[in-house]
Structure 1
Amino acid sequence: MSAIRVDSTKPYFATSSLVIGYALCSSLLAVTNKFAITKFNYLGLLTALQYLTSALGVWGLGKSGFLHHDIDPFTWQMAETCLPAALVFYLAIFINTNLLRHANVDTFVVFRSCTPLLVALEDIAFRKQPISSKLTFVSLLIILGGAVGYVATDSSFSSTAYSWAFAYLVTIATKMVYIEHMVTNVGSNAWGFVLYNSLLLQMMALQFSANLQS
């Protein structure tokens, strides 16, 4: 009887593919958002359109069978459960947009590269996650050192831009830890949470846009 061979490379390939895909999406999103806010000055409406696109994309892919989300039917009880996460997410996106408005993409990327260290520390402190290996923390500290070097030598230093940058660093790290906590404990699958979150964010963005114009 021949032994069944298990391909141990599949988990690594899947993880690598997700990491590369996330890196590409994140970098393209930063550049696209920077371009969008320089050409379209209605930030509330811009973010509302982004959230609408996200919600429609997940809903449409769910209807076509490419993914599964458990949002059908929509319930206000689940919406209320997701509301705190949506508020944190909205604050992070609001600060992110203002950072891109006042700083260049390089500054944005440098500060975003520091978020893994903060997320790791918050995971240990608040979610009681195991401490990462020493080599991992050394790598994160090296990234932090590069960011400090960038700030120290930035010829286009602006107190306004860096105020938004530090605010972004804190909120994005908090958002990542809290969203991970919500996805784990909300009682909905990941795509269902994305759809709820996008719908709530769209409502907030439209309200914010309406308040600015009133």
Structure 2
Amino acid sequence: MVLAASPVTAFAVVGFGACSSVMLVINKVAITQLPAPAFILFLQCGLTAGGIWLAAAAGQVVVDPLCSPALLHAFAPVALGFLATLYCNSKALQYLNVESFIVCRNSTPIVICVLDYTFLGRELPSLWSTLCILGMIGGAAGYALTDSAFVVHGYAWLGGWLCAFLFDQIYIKHVVESVEVASNWSRAMYTNFWAAVFLVLLVLASPEERPVFADRARWTMPASLAVGASCVVAVFISYFAFLARKQLSATAFTVLGNACKIFSVVINVVIWDKHASATGLCFLAITLGAAILYTPAPMRDGVRRSGAQPMGAAAGRPARERVAAEGATEKTALLTGA
């Protein structure tokens, strides 16, 4: 797995790993308590965007103005990919156990490394990394044979998540590299703002969701605590996810997310019985072990020497004035994640 090359990278990797480890299980608990995934996502995204805006208004963080046309245009597709990934994730978790989702995710680096090579200027994986990716797929295949909770409807949502996830990993990395912002908080604020706007329409149009979140009897103390905890973690995972995307390649970021899911499994096994068999967990350990041993591919020589921006990034970069001044103090750099 990736070793931190700088304090910012270490900060991003540790922060994202901690948040990602608990978020999947918290979402599963929240959706089990209150089966309205779109509404829960709306709360998470809306409170994240609003919280960052309020923190900026209080002078605690540095962000771009929310009314910037260039950034609104740049982050609308990001929010759509982000939202599609989260929504399909939530729907899949309604029908599948956590391990089923984790195994599908562990199979994605084999595709993303090719997309990384094609669109983002990375080399193809080394022989060692290829063997690690094959180990992930082998473990996933073994797990699939032991999954007694197979639900066709659930796996249809899992397929939708896979398509959205591949777009999310590659396109968002492109935007992170090509669109200048005042700080990492701006990326999180704009993405969550657009996602909340789209989710309002989705929630209002869903006949399945309205009766659930409008029913006061469903808002028990466990349900309220689970949803509230998911909203708190959503703020931090959004920030650390963008920070880690900036520091790592798309494939390495994917593998990081896969590797830290071993803690999701530990939490999941401890808190309830919605987990896989012992044999299934052994196969899952193979996929996660291979993820930990994966070594990311460097940039291709031609791209590294010329400093070229893949996917036409330079042409698409908004010409805009930086809000954060150069020569910011170490405290400000740490605060903003710039």
Task: Report the TM-score, using the length of structure 1 for normalisation.
Answer: 0.84
CA contact (8 A) 1:47 1:205 kept: yes
Aligned-pair identity in percent equals 26
1 CA distance for matches of 2:85 and 2:168?
7
Partner of residue 76 from structure 2, selected from 78, 83, 88: 83
**1:121 match:** 114
Tell me if structure 1 keeps the 8 A contact 2:95–2:154.
yes
More deviation in 110-119 or 79-88? 110-119
Mapped pair 1:22 → 2:16: yes
C-alpha distance in structure 1 between counterparts of 2:11 and 2:66, whole Å: 32
> Which amino acid in the other structure matches residue 13 of structure 2?
V
Note closer, same or farther for the CA distance 1:13–1:187 as it changes in structure 2 (3 Å cut): closer
Contact kept? 2:38, 2:199, Cα under 8 Å: yes
Decide whether the 8 Å contact of 1:114 with 1:144 is kept in 2.
Answer: yes
Greater shift after overlay, 72-81 or 98-107?
A: 72-81
1:73-105 deviations in whole A, cap 9, x for unaligned? 522342122111111111111111111111011
Alignment partners' CA distance in 2, 1:169 and 1:208: 20
Kept after mapping to 1: 8 A contact 2:49/2:189: yes
Shift of 1:68: 2.9
Question: Alpha-carbon deviation of 1:66?
Answer: 5.1
Shift, 1:113, TM fit: 1.9
- 1:33 corresponds in structure 2 to 27
Deviations 1:11-40 (A, max 9, x none): 366545533432321121111111111111
User: 2:84 touches 2:161 (CA, 8 Å); kept in 1?
Assistant: no
Q: Is the 8 A contact 1:81 1:186 kept in 2?
A: yes
Q: Which amino acid aligns with 1:207?
A: L
Matched, 1:139 2:136: no
Out of 153, 158, 161, the position equivalent to 1:160 is: 153
1:53 counterpart = 2:47:
yes
Scaled by the length of structure 2, the TM-score of the pair is: 0.55
Change (3 A) 1:157 1:41: closer
Cα RMSD, aligned residues only: 2.3
Please state if 1:182 is matched with 2:175: yes
The question of whether the paired residues in 2 share the 8 Å contact of 1:102 and 1:161 is answered with: yes
Q: State the 1:60 CA deviation.
A: 4.1
1: distance between equivalents of 2:162 and 2:188?
A: 22
Q: State the AA in 2 paired with 1:21.
A: G
- The gaps in structure 1 that reach 5 residues or longer are 1-8
- Residue 201 (structure 1) aligned to one of 170, 195, 206: 195
Distance of aligned partners of 1:33 and 1:161 in 2 relative to their CA distance in 1, 3 Å threshold: same
Q: Name the SS of the counterpart of 2:143 in structure 1.
A: helix
Q: Which of 51, 76, 99 is the aligned partner of 2:92?
A: 99
Q: For residues 10 and 181 of structure 1, what CA distance do their matches in structure 2 show?
A: 21
**Aligned CA distance change for structure 1 residues 10 and 66 (closer, same or farther; 3 Å):** farther
- 1:92–1:175: 8 Å Cα contact kept in structure 2? yes
C-alpha distance in structure 2 between counterparts of 1:139 and 1:56, whole Å:
41
**Cα distance in 1, alignment partners of residues 171 and 126 from structure 2:** 23
Call closer, same or farther: CA 1:110–1:61 in 2, change over 3 Å: farther
